[in-house]
Structure formats: C-alpha cells, structure tokens
Amino acid sequence: MPVFFVTADQIRNGEATITGPLLDHLRSSLRIQVGEQIWIGDEQRRRYLVRVSHLDRRALSGSVLEEQTGPSPTHPPITIGQALLKGERMDWVIQKATELGAAALIPLIANRSIVRPRSARVRPQQGRWQRIAREAAQQAERWEIPTVSAACEAVGFFTSQDRADCRLLLRERGDGQNLASIALPRRPEQTIVMAFGPEGGWSQEEVARALECGFVPITLGTRILRAETATLAALSILQNRLGELG
C-alpha cells in the first residue's frame, strides 16, 4: 500500500488524525475501514504504521503501531528544470520524474515553448503539479515529496543555479559530453541540476546564457527523442550512475 503524506502536527501522543482531501481519498477511493492499517509519512522523513480506530466524514483517527525514520541521503539531490510541454506531457514528466527520485522540479518558459502560462493560471497550475508529485511520491513509497515550483523564464533559471555543484544542459543535435561518462558529484550535500528544453529545443540565446552560467552541454547519443522521453531517460541514467537505480 502507498505511504500517505501528512504533516507532523497531525500525529500527537501516539495518535494520528487525517482530514481534508486525503480523508476523502481514503474513504471514497480506497474504502478504508475501521481496523485496517495504513502507512503515513511526514515532512520530517518519518513513517508511521497506523491502525484505524475511528472513521467518519469529518476525520480518520488511529493509533500508531510502529514508527520508522528514513535513511540519511547518500547521493546528491537532483533538480530538474523542464521547459513547459503541451498537453498532458508535462503532467507525465512530473509524475515519472517523481517516481525516479527527482528532488525538485522547476517548469521553465523557453523561447520555443508552445505552452505559455496565463498569469491567472500560474498558481492553480503549480498546485495541480504539486498534487501530481505528491500522489506519485506516495505510490513510489518515497520518504519525501519533491517540490514543484511556479513556472519561470529559462534564462532566469540558468542564472539562479550558480550554487549548484553540477549543472547540465541536454542538447539535441549538438556537441556535448555523454551523460554516461561525465564526472558527477557524489556527496549528499552537493547538488545536481539538469535542464531540458521544449519540443522545439533550446534557442541559441538560451544555450549561450546557460553556458555563461556554468551549464555543461550533455548528450544522450545520436537518437532523437521526444522531449519528455529525453528527460526521463537522462534522469534514469543519472540515478543509475549514482546508485539510486539498478
């Protein structure tokens, strides 16, 4: 069963209380009953096995039977800068990147992005993407939920990543180091950032700015992949090299 995320203040004195959308999901979709056991986790990387003792439309409550603390990270966290993709492709990338262990996802507005967010939709869209990440993290039994930021301009993103230890820019049809062999940081206090362009690729201006900001061009080889496929393929390779997959 998935690990459902709550906040630490919902667990007090050996008792857990769940309300809101998660309660509705447990009652209506999963049809949880009194006496059943569920796993919940909080933002402090702790998990609790809870036996449900009370359930109605207002709240679910239960006793904590077991508590676990998540293992300390052993590899650098990975931030994904993903140019906005059309249709459901962006949702799919966020969901799968979460399953693959991305620590943060930052939607980017690139020069060739087909999708252009309307100002009135920025905050609701960010909230929806964060819910997608939350659900994917629960299903994958992760210890934490990746953060999904509001969409920002790609050039501004490149500038803001000056503290990252490793900055990678995926380029199609261009020169670049192979992701399978490029040197990577290994310590958990270090950070890795990877940027991925839209369906039409990065503009020359964006590539120039990224290089000025210390991003290193990388390639996945000669095969041309869809934008969403390239992101997940690169993340999988990186996680395999870091020992998180495989």
Choosing from 17, 40, 69, the residue where a domain stops is 69
pLDDT of the residue at 174: 66
Write the CATH number for 31: 2.40.240.20
pLDDT of 246 higher than 90: no
95 and 153: one domain?
yes
Contact (Cβ atoms closer than 8 angstroms) between residue 44 and residue 145: no
**Structural domains counted in the chain:** 2
pLDDT of 16 higher than 70: yes
Contact (Cβ atoms closer than 8 angstroms) between residue 65 and residue 37: yes
233 and 175: one domain?
yes
199 and 97: one domain?
yes
Contact (Cβ atoms closer than 8 angstroms) between residue 123 and residue 171: no
Q: Are strands 15-18 and 60-69 parallel, antiparallel or unpaired?
A: antiparallel
156 and 86: one domain?
yes
Contact (Cβ atoms closer than 8 angstroms) between residue 107 and residue 91: no
pLDDT digits (tens, 9 = 90+) for 173-220: 667 889 999 999 999 999 999 999 998 899 999 999 999 999 999 998
pLDDT digits (tens, 9 = 90+) for 140-160: 999 999 999 999 999 999 999
123 and 228: one domain?
yes
Write the CATH number for 144: 3.40.1280.10
Q: What's the rounded Cα separation, in Å, for the pair 118 and 115?
A: 10
Identify the domain containing residue 15 by its residue range.
3-69
Radius of gyration of the chain (CA): 20
Choosing from 69, 89, 115, the residue where a domain stops is 69
Q: Sheet harboring 46-55: ordered strands across?
A: 3-5, 37-41, 46-55, 60-69, 15-18, 11-12
31 and 84: one domain?
no
54 and 96: one domain?
no
pLDDT of 222 higher than 90: no
142 and 56: one domain?
no
pLDDT of the residue at 117: 75
Residue 84 phi, psi (nearest 5): -55, 135
pLDDT digits (tens, 9 = 90+) for 37-49: 999 999 999 999 9
153 and 190: one domain?
yes
Lowest mean pLDDT among 26-40, 61-75, 110-124: 110-124
Choosing from 36, 69, 102, the residue where a domain stops is 69
84 and 53: one domain?
no
